[in-house]
Each structure stands twice: as C-alpha cells, then as structure tokens.
Amino acid sequence: MSRSMPALTLTLCGLLFGCGGQPEDGESTEVLDAPDTQVMPAEGAEGTVTASAISTMSVFGASVSFNSNGDNFTVRDTAADGHSAVAHIYNSNTGSYSFCWNSSGSGTSVTCNRNFAEGILIRFRACTGEAGTGRLVNCSDWKTVSTAN
C-alpha cells in the first residue's frame, strides 16, 4: 500500500460522507484564534527550540523564569520570609556558575540579562538565600534548557 493512501482515504471520506473538512448544517464557520503556545524542550533534551521558550522553576519563597529570547532571568520573591530570591545558574559551555539575586523584598521581581552562546545547554534553579553572605538556604531541582531561539 502506498504512503498516499491515508490522504486519499481521508479526501474520499470527506467528499463522499461529509466526515471532516466542511461544517455540517448549523455548525459555526467562525475561525477561532489558536491559543498561544511555547515550544519547550523535554528535560535534558538536546535540539533546536523553534520559539522563545520560557521555563520556570519555583521553590517556597522564589520563582525563576528563563526566557531564551534574550537570555533573561526573572527572579520573583514570593514570600515575606526574610530571605532573598535567587537564580542559581550553571553555564555548561564555560563550566561556570553565576547568580541573579533579588533582595528587594516580597512581591518584587528583578531581571538579569545574560549573553550566552547560541544553542548551548544551561541549567538553573530557584533558590532562597542570604544576599549579604551569598549563602543559599533552599533550592529547587535543576532545570536544563537550551539558549536557542
């Protein structure tokens, strides 16, 4: 059987029996907008991200979002617990760690811009910590994402 057979079957079905393709009597022909979607790589997946991917990790007191379109981290302090919110970032290209601290208090957000090489894998996690000493108190698991746009 050839590969074009399913398409032929569907076309024939639509033409002869009205199963798909055309609205039935009383059905709306209004075109609805598709919901906004984001292409998200699977955990640890390698490959190309075809749209701006926003990945978020959270722990009590902190939420960190990474946007691959611009290499931005947004760090939100989500609890009045006396701790700062922080993104803990690992760059697999250089083997280095960095941080993005938000010590502005509960309900605030801080955005840190990074300039990673295109298409590398990075890891990040959301933490709470003590900004003065740089000590991390509590952290989420690591999330691996691609810097590809």
Contact criterion met (CB below 8 Å) for 98 and 50: no
Q: What is the domain partition of the chain in residue ranges?
A: 54-146
Question: Which residue bears the tokens 């032929």?
Answer: 8
Phi–psi pair at 78, nearest 5 degrees: -110, 5
Locate the DSSP E strands across the chain: 54-59, 62-67, 72-77, 84-91, 96-102, 109-113, 121-130, 135-139, 143-146
How far is the C-alpha of 75 from the C-alpha of 67, rounded, in Å?
12
Q: Is the pTM of this model over 0.85?
A: no
The CATH code that applies to domain 54-146 is: 2.60.40.10
In angstroms, the CA 60 to CA 5 distance is 54
Q: Find, among 73, 120, 119, 78, the residue nearest to 99 by Cα.
A: 73
pLDDT per residue, tens digit, the chain (149 aa), is: 444 444 333 333 333 334 333 333 443 333 333 333 333 334 444 444 334 589 999 999 999 999 999 999 999 999 999 999 999 999 999 999 999 999 999 999 999 999 999 999 999 999 999 999 999 999 999 999 999 87
